Amino acid sequence: MSNNKLLILIVEDDNAISNFISAMLTSNNYHVIMTQSGRGAVSNIASHCPDLVLLDLGLPDIDGLEVLKSIRQWTGVPVIVVSARGHEREKVEALDLGADDYVTKPFGTSELLARIRTALRHYNSNKASSQTDSGKRTVGDLEINYEKRMVILKGTEIHLTPIEYKIIVLLSRHMGKVLTHDFIIREVWGPYANERQALRVNMANIRRKLEINPAEPKYIMTEVGVGYRMIDGEIGH
């Protein structure tokens, strides 16, 4: 057993699924531990300190959302929720409770691996740069320059309203991660705002300015019923 392999905890009560995921992760050089229950999840996270957790929400004892709520009181371990198709409200709740991402069953192998790499990368870069934030982020032809307060596309500055700029900065600081509608609204407009319509309008304007073809966005993806995600170069659609 080598020490530099990352450890992933699979929380899943369906054996067929957990065996499948486990085989896939093992062949991609991860160590894997598995549990079928919510209580098992909490105790394994505490005792093994995994590098990442894949969390099914429908568990036999405690609901996965309760597991998430409970572990978030004491650990920031990256958590990717594994959720059934059509359960948008559950995904939103999981993200608001501190999940890092979600995948929808049935999912492809490469999609899951990409999401795992992204979540691990964010976790590590957040730890490394939480204080010393670098002055800019780039993705593709897009540069967000925090120092100059500018957004530049292919070398040309994009003219943005202050709200549009705040939204782009927020998405870019969480590049690769889905941000829920409520989270974006709270961060941009404040805790008591109810600005869904304004968010939609601003996002449409941002896309018109940023995207060559707003119907097929390259930079900011819509997660239907959940929120928005700025791609980080690896996860595209």
Least Cβ distance, residue 72 to Ca ion (angstroms): 20
Query: With respect to Ca ion, which residue has the nearer C-beta, 10 or 168?
Result: 10
Pattern 4-43, Ca ion, x by CB under 5 A: ---------x------------------------------
Least Cβ distance, residue 59 to Ca ion (angstroms): 6
Query: With respect to Ca ion, which residue has the nearer C-beta, 63 or 234?
Result: 63
Least Cβ distance, residue 78 to Ca ion (angstroms): 20
- Give the residue from 165, 198, 196, 163 showing the smallest Cα distance to 181: 196
Q: How many residues does the chain have?
A: 237
Task: Using alpha carbons only, give the angle 224, 186, 226 rounded to the nearest 5 degrees.
Answer: 10
- Region of 19-27, 48-56, 123-131, 198-206 interacting with Ca ion (CB under 5 A): 48-56
Torsions phi, psi for 161 (to 5 deg)? -75, 165
Least Cβ distance, residue 68 to Ca ion (angstroms): 14
The tokens for 29 are 């050089």
Query: With respect to Ca ion, which residue has the nearer C-beta, 36 or 172?
Result: 36
**CB contact at 8 A, 83 and 104:** yes
Measured CA to CA in angstroms, residue 109 lies from 17, 57, 120, 218, 230 at distances of 12, 19, 17, 22, 22
Least Cβ distance, residue 35 to Ca ion (angstroms): 12
**CB contact at 8 A, 10 and 30:** no
**Residue count, binding to Ca ion (CB under 5 A):** 3
Residues between 57 and 76 with contacts to Ca ion, criterion CB under 5 A: 58
Query: With respect to Ca ion, which residue has the nearer C-beta, 68 or 179?
Result: 68
Is the bond preceding 191 in cis, omega lying within 30 degrees of 0?
Answer: no
The tokens for 169 are 């900065």
Query: With respect to Ca ion, which residue has the nearer C-beta, 61 or 111?
Result: 61
Least Cβ distance, residue 116 to Ca ion (angstroms): 19
Q: Is 56 in the site for Ca ion (CB under 5 A)?
A: yes
Least Cβ distance, residue 57 to Ca ion (angstroms): 7
- Region of 52-60, 66-74, 164-172, 192-200 interacting with Ca ion (CB under 5 A): 52-60
- Give the residue from 113, 89, 104, 99 showing the smallest Cα distance to 67: 99
Residues between 159 and 188 with contacts to Ca ion, criterion CB under 5 A: none
* Pairing status of strand 7-11 against strand 150-153: unpaired
- Region of 27-35, 55-63, 85-93, 187-195 interacting with Ca ion (CB under 5 A): 55-63
State the Cα–Cα distance between residues 222 and 206, nearest whole angstrom: 13
The residues pairing with 53 across neighbouring beta strands, listed in sequence order, are 9, 79
Per CB under 5 A, residues contacting Ca ion are 13, 56, 58
